[in-house]
Structure 1
Amino acid sequence: MTTKKTTTPAAGKPVAKGDHVYLIDGSGYIFRAYHALPPLTRPSDGLPVGAVHGFCGMLWKLLRETGELAPPTHMAVVLDYSAKTFRNDLFDGYKANRSETPEDLIPQFPLVRDAVRAFNVSCVEKEGFEADDLIATYAFQALEAGATVTIVSSDKDLMQIVRPGIVMYDTMKNKVIDEEGVAEKFGVPPEKVVDVQALIGDSSDNVPGVPGIGVKTAALLINEYGDLDTLLARAEEIKQQKRRENLITFADQARLSRTLVTLDTHVDLDVSLAETAVHQPDTEALTAFMRQMEFSTLLRRVAEGLGAPLPEGEAKPATARKKKDDYDHPLRRSPRGEAGPARDVEVQGGSPAELAIERASKLEGVPFDRANYETVTEIQRLIDLLETARFQGHFAFRVKLNGSDPMLGEIAGVALALVPGHAAYVPLAHRAGDELDLGGETTVTQIPVREALDALKPVLEDEAVLKIVQNAKADIVALGRYGIALQAIDDPCLMSYALDAGRAEHLPGKLAGSLLGYTCLTEKEVMGTGKAAVAFDRVAVERATEYAGEETDLGLRLWTILKPRLAAESVTTVYETLERPLAPVLAEMERAGVKVDRATLASLSGAFAQTIARLEDEIRELAGEDFNVGSPKQLGEILFDKMSLAGGRRTKTGAWSTDAATLEELAAQGHELPRKVLDWRLVAKLKSTYTDALPTYIHPETGRVHTSYALAATTTGRLSSVEPNLQNIPVRTSEGRSIRKAFVADKGKKLISADYSQIELRVLAHMADTPTLRQAFADGLDIHAMTASEMFGVPIEGMDPNVRRKAKAINFGIIYGISAFGLGNQLGIPRGEAADYINTYFERFPGIRDYMEAMKAEARRTGYVKTLFGRKIHYPEINTKNPSLRGNYERAAITAPIQGSAADIIRRAMIRMAAALAEAGLQARMLLQVHDELIFEAPEDEADKTMEVAQAIMENAAEPALRLQVPLKVDARAADNWEAAH
């Protein structure tokens, strides 16, 4: 075999009893550093070096400080030689589903090898074997020699070799994984891990396993039967039919999977253990490498650590310190009150990207420890914490309610965190009494709610003190009900959204895992599930302290590393102008709510019930028999077995598909029954989702419906609403539009609908720089008629409505990347004719095709596209080799800048609206946002003036950031209900 052996330190003494061998999973840490840390390029030439920087920081920290672990006498960084190993010879599909290595990571692999050499550490890899095989071989050799082994990795595949003398160490979590930790992960001891893995498989490595068996089931089976071979031999004894059948059917697959996951512990090594002896880094070589990479902050740290003079031009920046000698800073005492070391805040130099990496690296050394979260039960301690927060200028904060709805839940407590690793929870209304169970034998007295809120209010409303609040909108709504206006917020979830829309999830728990490698407590773990679930005010305070304290500790950590990334990745403006200021606007809208008329809903519900009954009779008559119209299975049998309609297809379960697309296709062929079923489904959904459900959302105190808006739920910046969802009310049918009649204005007031006219087409005309479309919008022409005239050569005057309809379908279809097949289905024409329409469209408006190709190219090059206002929408998998997926991503990359820019424009309008209305002396309130439409409630005598202000703000919302080449137009109307105002 071809071997790759980098230069290693001079040979050292053989490993012996008492030695400590560190084996670093280098490949794992390269990928971990790449995905967990923000991108970083070398300033001089733009070379990607983020993963190298993260890896160097980890290795330096490991060499300098090992915490509770004994320092290493021997150390090796072990890497994968290539993607192909002996396992690929056993199974062609091994790791076949892994995505390609990111282009900007590829040039960093040789740089990591250079880094390891610069640190004077052994670097090992071998063709045909994975790094895990080499690590396993080294580990057993060291163990046999009497040494102890620490495997620096969190890779679950290495857990099979953990045993007395061999542990794993996860540097991201600062956690040692021993036999107990393995059993906690897999439910079995390390020696049985391969049997569990053989059953469950591994989707990331494409190890097949046995279908339908997860970790818990696999552990149960292996613990019961002892090992995989015994289990497979006795599979007939298993009572559960599906489980028994799968184990019998996929027995060989399980055995193959075991072979694939079992590590080779007898690799013929090219670098002996003796050669991995730890040596002092060569100061000159290491600092030269840091200078070459232009890691200025890390260079200073390394130079100081080695006692070397700082290189010329790398003078240490002045340290800015905050001092207040007479104050009890939370880091000066633990939750139990003992004195602790004081720490001062140091301002770091370097670029924003380097600062983000530096902060992330430092946070690795501050473990999450729930024992460090204190329960505050004395008002003076709360006041002290708030005084520190005011002095420090920022702190993390969270309101904890006894329910999930901020419009209904009562405050159970609040949590604060001033520094990472420490937090405080203040219980205020747990168990609805003054004395509460702390989880042990003692009781604790709570601070009265009003007294605590009076202490909190001045700080929470102080614009000079930054509050770091995850998903802050809910806290703003909840505190507003108590007369507190939460001001000056930073929301890590919205920061993540501005940075990573499309390539990450933005919920705190998900961010904890992806950015910090930490698994948080879950709501289910704390409050239970099902009938055993309790409200938060019924959770034992000790447990509540752990949960709420962790939330704020996490929020502070996320903010610490995400804040500098905003500047480093050029999205500060997006966050500061489109995300952060919108949260309080939406909170005010949610608190305002909208009035819904119960009588109208009841009347509609009755009418819908009659329509449903009539349609069911007609459907059964057409079918020639009685059946459950709501049953897809029975419907499929009627359509394709009994009626033998053409075009049927079966689902994975073998049943006939009766989804909307199938029924639409059958209806287009002239079949009446599927058309009736589609009508039935529409009315049934309107009844169940709206006319029957909306009354249950009416607030008992306000008498209004208070929807909740999600700011970070879509990739493009569009808002969504839940509980109830008011953005999906159908408007293309009279039945759907009738739902809006139930949304009414209060007595003496009017509802106002202000709706952008064809905003996405206008944005497209600007972005694609299409003169014909731009001029048509400037002249106020019917854009669809003008498009039809351009495409089909017919005059606008007296145009056939069907011709205009085709042009309209193409106009909007182009925005959403419609295919010839999709357009053909929509217009009921052959695919070839639809393709001709699309080609003609591009010939008449060539700028649009140029725009589409430019967006696809940009997405392929950078992994994202941008809106007109700088919002990044990521498509990291756009270069996939799967043509179907690639096509989907390319269509999305075309649509996203248009839809996202329109969403950004209405966000800008919403943010400015309240101040504009107040400046005009108007009492109107903004109640709802539905995509391109804003709904207001205003006194009758102010309706005209409100419409005038709303139109002005909305039509000029893009300015001064951008002057569109196409005018925006807003239609506004006032009426007693939403439908009449639309």
Structure 2
Amino acid sequence: MGTDDAKAPEAGRPRGAAMAEAAAASESLPEVKPGERHLILVDGSGYIFRAYHALPPMTNPQGVPVNAVYGFTSMLAQFLTRHAASHIAVVFDAARENFRNAIYPDYKAHRPDPPEDLVPQFELIREATDALGVARVQQEGYEADDLIAAYAKAFTAEGGRVTIVSSDKDLMQLVRPGVQLLDPIKQKPIREAEVIEKFGVPPGKVVEVQALAGDSTDNVPGVPGIGIKTAAQLIAEYGDLESLLANAASIKQPKRREALIENAEKARISKRLVMLDADAPLPQPIEAFAAKPPTDHRLESFLRAMGFRSLLARMGRLGEGNEPPRRGAAPAALTHAPAPGPAAPDLSAPFGPYETVTSEAALEAWIAQAGAAGVVALDTETDSLDARRARMVGFSLAVAPGRACYVPIRHGDADDMLAQPAPAQVPPARAFALLRPLLEDPTVLKVFQHAKYDLEVFARAENGGFAAIAPIDDTMMISYAMAAGKHGHGMDELSVLHLNHQPIRFDEVTGTGKARIPFSRVPLDRATAYAAEDADVTLRLWLLLKPRLREEGALALYEQVERRMIAVLRDMEAAGIKVDGAELARIGEDFSARLAVLEKRIHALAGREFNVGSPKQLGEILFDEMKLAGGRKGKTGAYSTDASVLEDLAAQGVELAARVLDWRQLAKLKSTYVEALAAQIDPADRRVHTSYGMAGTSTGRLSSNDPNLQNIPIRTEEGLRIRRAFVAEPGHVLLAADYSQIELRLLAHLAEVPTLREAFARGEDIHARTAAEIFHLDPAQVDKEARRRAKTINFGIIYGMSAFGLAARLGIPPAEGRAIIDAYFAQYPGIRQEMERCKEEARTHGFVRTPFGRKLWIPDIAAKDPMRRAGAERAAINAPFQGGAAEIIKRAMVRIPRALRQAGLAARMLLQVHDELVFEVPEAEAEATGRLVKHIMESVATLRVPLAVEVGIGRSWAEAH
């Protein structure tokens, strides 16, 4: 079966939609008059990426991904049947870097790499262009846009007219009499009127506007604070960039004046970056672009090799009895009708029965099926939830809904203390040897549910493991990209939610409690039913959820951030961080001594000895013996003595409550970190290896466990002591890079608060500035206490803190807390407006969005219970800031490892904790690494205020923090 008929299982946008757009656009071009010279220049990159994102995954008979090849071929073929021109060429980019990188090294530095399954298609797309008889051109050192500009200039100089097929705004500067753009998406020509509508200036002034506004996509700096509209107004008033800069000192608006003066050179550089080089060398003579029909044999051979049966049929080249078109004729058999799309996957196929693979021949047959399908879902069965220690017991494959198998490799293994006779199965070494070509085949997509775990298990398999499993997809992260906070993202929950199917539970096959048996002892029929079903469910979820990414606006988030984080976090977990066991022991002794002192003081305050760790005994002392007010008994009849109760009592001056709080915090640190860390040090490398949770929070933030490094106190002496135990290897240092006040910066970015934006732009102390404005103080009068209160207010507002909560934090009456919040919102009305907007967005849609577009769902926003609803409103206020901060640091994390490699630096990223990244760096490379990391972290997002990163270096984490 051909690729486009049988190997594109993903349901989604109708296959012909993108092609129909391109064909319909032909109505906008006038016919070529006899003897008229008309050059059509097709922006190849635009076609490629539209085709790739419009179509589901496909593979050709050799297993190579070809969805973009198919889309490109169909779009270009249809375009040719509906447009006549004397000359035509497709223009491609030759390489990522060009002469602009010499002008500005960071030009396009933050653009992500193309998707892994698109890379092998680039050369095939060039072959498709040749097969259709269309000239193609590219030139090292120049972008496709430069070549388009150069050919347009040369062709019009000879009296011809030019049509550029592209929707790229950067090409609008080329519009003039004789040169127009054709937007293939909106299906209309772009002439001077359309350019003025887009940029506010005629085509000849577009580069002046772009130089001021910049372009975050291409990392063109521009002038901060000036957008397209303002730039157009300035150019209309002053004529061009240089005239504007020459008169910048006379501009009345102070912010605009200062921005232009301070960033004049950036604007000049930006103009050089956005101006297309119409004098670029012409790699081929124009006459090489003369339109000609495709060679029948070459086109047919290409289509057959790709397995494009529907295209062959549409061209009259499929099946016996079809007379081939005349040699030299254009492919007139192509019609305006879209190509038939793939049949929707049959998700109603029964779950099983599945095959147990116990021979090498059977495994080879399944691997061949997976290669032919071009996509395979995999799952591993192991003897541990810890991927670093887990040993694979077997693995499962699914190639279509209901078509899955389980491959046991260690059932009844002799190493199992509860060994039983081993059933017939493929030996692990042979199974891995057979599987390796499939897993490392770049043309076959491997789909996992929680890929990070399975990839780590495969990486630790025998014979060196599998280090190059790619490309991959992860159904857990696909779901999380679309529905953070809406529901859980485990396989069982997703299966029930989306497939209306409850998978077999692990406990059903292994038993529970003392009766539980290891999976290696589960009978093969039951093991197969359970394990193969997991792979089957994973494949069905992928078929169902992957197409929805685009519909939900989450495709870029998944492809550019979440999927790339899998490999980043795997490397970080494998690296771990060294812990000084002797220092931990000293800290433990100190904490024990301090706990003993605290315990004596607590007993003295209570008037007798008792178990300080017993809430029941503490409650009796506080409310029965000391007769304190506020005691509340729970269902068990014991008084509540949770943190909120003790904090209230401590605020009233009850020292016993305050000291118990101190004791609890110290005891928790001792048990959670000092004792737990010592037990979790890997004896092989003396390092601890935390595990990062990728889909457990509602905001997009990572979590960490075994050990949890997210909850070590940041600003207490105890937290600092614990950080001293995290150290660098000999000859290395730890480097900590921490975003400064990132959530407040996001608040200033989202809310219309000119004073906050100005303070961040100037690098002022934001808390001191807030104190001066809220408490009506002269800046010189702001003392530590006023700044502390302002800091509490600033961060409290982000978390939706109530007047009562603020009063409790500041130790003031509730009425004073309300007065402070009222004063805050009176000073910064834009913040209240933004908070109300967030709540209304949540009430209307059920979610809020981060500044970068991610949906964060707020399930309880419509709850009838006022307490739950109020909590949801606070979450709605905070989510854009927490979620935005999470996305910013993730963007940095996926860029930094590659940047380090390209720079030849040996630093390893070890930890991510809140807004901080920790690296282990050779001493000699510390400063260079710090500069590179700081630059990337500060430039991964363009906000209305600058991002700021503080970098510290030291032998321990405490010294670096």
The reply on whether 1:675 has 2:658 as its aligned counterpart is yes
Secondary structure at the residue paired with 1:363? coil
**Match of 1:56?**
none
Question: Residue 703 of structure 2 is aligned with which of 699, 715, 720?
Answer: 720
Paired letter, 2:406? Y
The reply on whether 1:651 has 2:639 as its aligned counterpart is no
User: Structure 2 vs 1, CA of residues 948 and 833 (structure 1 numbering), >3 Å: closer, same or farther?
Assistant: same
Secondary structure at the residue paired with 1:923? coil
1:362-373 counterparts in 2 under 5 A? 362-364=346-348, 366-369=349-352, 371=353, 373=354
How far residue 560 of structure 1 moved from its aligned partner, in angstroms, is: 0.9
Cα offsets for 1:403-429 (capped at 9, x unmatched): 111101112221111011121111122
**Match of 1:864?**
847
How far residue 751 of structure 1 moved from its aligned partner, in angstroms, is: 0.9
**Match of 2:298?**
none
The reply on whether 1:636 has 2:615 as its aligned counterpart is no
Cα offsets for 1:350-408 (capped at 9, x unmatched): 8xxxx9xx958x412x1212x3x212122232222222222221000112222111101
1:692-703 counterparts in 2 under 5 A? 692-703=675-686
Q: Distance in 2 between matches of 1:876 and 1:679?
A: 35
Paired letter, 2:381? K
Paired letter, 1:462? D
**Match of 2:371?**
390
Q: Is the 8 A contact 1:430 1:537 kept in 2?
A: yes
Q: Distance in 2 between matches of 1:435 and 1:776?
A: 65
User: Structure 2 vs 1, CA of residues 443 and 558 (structure 1 numbering), >3 Å: closer, same or farther?
Assistant: same
How far residue 523 of structure 1 moved from its aligned partner, in angstroms, is: 1.8
**Match of 1:461?**
440
Q: Distance in 2 between matches of 1:321 and 1:462?
A: 28
Secondary structure at the residue paired with 1:398? strand
How far residue 541 of structure 1 moved from its aligned partner, in angstroms, is: 2.6
Q: Distance in 1 between matches of 2:756 and 2:310?
A: 58
How far residue 693 of structure 1 moved from its aligned partner, in angstroms, is: 1.0
Paired letter, 1:943? A
Cα offsets for 1:212-266 (capped at 9, x unmatched): xxxxxxxxxxxxxxxxxxxxxxxxxxxxxxxxxxxxxxxxxxxxxxxxxxxxxxx
Cα RMSD over matched residues?
2.6
**Match of 1:965?**
944
Q: Distance in 1 between matches of 2:745 and 2:899?
A: 25
**Match of 1:492?**
475
How far residue 846 of structure 1 moved from its aligned partner, in angstroms, is: 1.3
Cα offsets for 1:638-687 (capped at 9, x unmatched): 01111111222222333211111111111111111111111111111111
Paired letter, 1:498? A
Q: Distance in 1 between matches of 2:946 and 2:488?
A: 35
Q: Is the 8 A contact 2:411 2:423 kept in 1?
A: no
Q: Is the 8 A contact 1:434 1:446 kept in 2?
A: no
The reply on whether 1:420 has 2:401 as its aligned counterpart is yes
Q: Is the 8 A contact 1:438 1:540 kept in 2?
A: no
Q: Distance in 1 between matches of 2:849 and 2:722?
A: 36
How far residue 876 of structure 1 moved from its aligned partner, in angstroms, is: 3.9
How far residue 613 of structure 1 moved from its aligned partner, in angstroms, is: 1.4
Cα offsets for 1:721-765 (capped at 9, x unmatched): 111111111223211221111111111111111100000000110
Paired letter, 2:875? A
The reply on whether 1:919 has 2:902 as its aligned counterpart is yes
How far residue 545 of structure 1 moved from its aligned partner, in angstroms, is: 1.6
User: Structure 2 vs 1, CA of residues 455 and 651 (structure 1 numbering), >3 Å: closer, same or farther?
Assistant: same
**Match of 1:403?**
384
Q: Is the 8 A contact 1:469 1:490 kept in 2?
A: yes
The reply on whether 1:978 has 2:957 as its aligned counterpart is yes
How far residue 348 of structure 1 moved from its aligned partner, in angstroms, is: 9.9
Question: Residue 596 of structure 2 is aligned with which of 613, 627, 637?
Answer: 613
The sequence identity of aligned pairs, in percent, is 51
Q: Distance in 2 between matches of 1:782 and 1:930?
A: 24
Paired letter, 2:389? L
Q: Is the 8 A contact 2:412 2:419 kept in 1?
A: no
How far residue 701 of structure 1 moved from its aligned partner, in angstroms, is: 2.6
1:152-551 counterparts in 2 under 5 A? 359=344, 362-364=346-348, 366-369=349-352, 371=353, 373-433=354-414, 444-482=423-461, 483-485=465-467, 486-551=469-534
Gaps of 5+ in 2: 1-10, 18-307, 314-337
The reply on whether 1:780 has 2:759 as its aligned counterpart is no
The reply on whether 1:583 has 2:562 as its aligned counterpart is no
Q: Distance in 2 between matches of 1:396 and 1:733?
A: 47
Q: Distance in 2 between matches of 1:434 and 1:622?
A: 57
Comparing 910-919 with 736-745, greater Cα deviation is found at 736-745
Q: Distance in 1 between matches of 2:311 and 2:867?
A: 55
**Match of 1:566?**
549
Q: Is the 8 A contact 1:789 1:795 kept in 2?
A: yes
Q: Distance in 2 between matches of 1:472 and 1:715?
A: 20
Q: Distance in 2 between matches of 1:321 and 1:374?
A: 36
Q: Is the 8 A contact 1:438 1:541 kept in 2?
A: no
**Match of 2:865?**
882
Q: Distance in 2 between matches of 1:710 and 1:434?
A: 31
The reply on whether 1:805 has 2:793 as its aligned counterpart is no
How far residue 505 of structure 1 moved from its aligned partner, in angstroms, is: 1.2
How far residue 789 of structure 1 moved from its aligned partner, in angstroms, is: 0.8
Q: Distance in 2 between matches of 1:647 and 1:443?
A: 64
The reply on whether 1:831 has 2:831 as its aligned counterpart is no
Cα offsets for 1:929-974 (capped at 9, x unmatched): 001000111111111111111111111112xxxx211110111111
Q: Distance in 1 between matches of 2:882 and 2:676?
A: 30
Cα offsets for 1:158-211 (capped at 9, x unmatched): xxxxxxxxxxxxxxxxxxxxxxxxxxxxxxxxxxxxxxxxxxxxxxxxxxxxxx
Secondary structure at the residue paired with 2:779? coil
Gaps of 5+ in 1: 1-36, 44-316, 323-346
Secondary structure at the residue paired with 1:657? coil
Q: Is the 8 A contact 2:393 2:520 kept in 1?
A: yes
How far residue 461 of structure 1 moved from its aligned partner, in angstroms, is: 2.1
Cα offsets for 1:855-887 (capped at 9, x unmatched): 111111111111122210112442334332222
Secondary structure at the residue paired with 1:926? strand
Secondary structure at the residue paired with 1:732? coil
How far residue 564 of structure 1 moved from its aligned partner, in angstroms, is: 1.3
Paired letter, 1:824? A
Q: Distance in 2 between matches of 1:603 and 1:891?
A: 42
Q: Is the 8 A contact 1:951 1:972 kept in 2?
A: yes
**Match of 1:592?**
575
Q: Is the 8 A contact 1:612 1:680 kept in 2?
A: yes
Q: Distance in 2 between matches of 1:857 and 1:349?
A: 43
Secondary structure at the residue paired with 1:418? strand
Q: Is the 8 A contact 1:430 1:436 kept in 2?
A: no
Paired letter, 1:363? L
Q: Distance in 1 between matches of 2:416 and 2:807?
A: 70
Q: Is the 8 A contact 1:512 1:519 kept in 2?
A: yes
TM-score for the superposition, normalised by structure 2: 0.63
Secondary structure at the residue paired with 2:897? helix
Paired letter, 1:746? E
**Match of 2:879?**
896
User: Structure 2 vs 1, CA of residues 320 and 426 (structure 1 numbering), >3 Å: closer, same or farther?
Assistant: farther
Q: Distance in 1 between matches of 2:588 and 2:415?
A: 47
**Match of 1:936?**
919
User: Structure 2 vs 1, CA of residues 348 and 574 (structure 1 numbering), >3 Å: closer, same or farther?
Assistant: farther
Q: Distance in 2 between matches of 1:753 and 1:321?
A: 58
1:26-45 counterparts in 2 under 5 A? none
**Match of 2:668?**
685
Q: Distance in 2 between matches of 1:464 and 1:797?
A: 65
The reply on whether 1:760 has 2:743 as its aligned counterpart is yes
How far residue 318 of structure 1 moved from its aligned partner, in angstroms, is: 8.9
**Match of 2:138?**
none
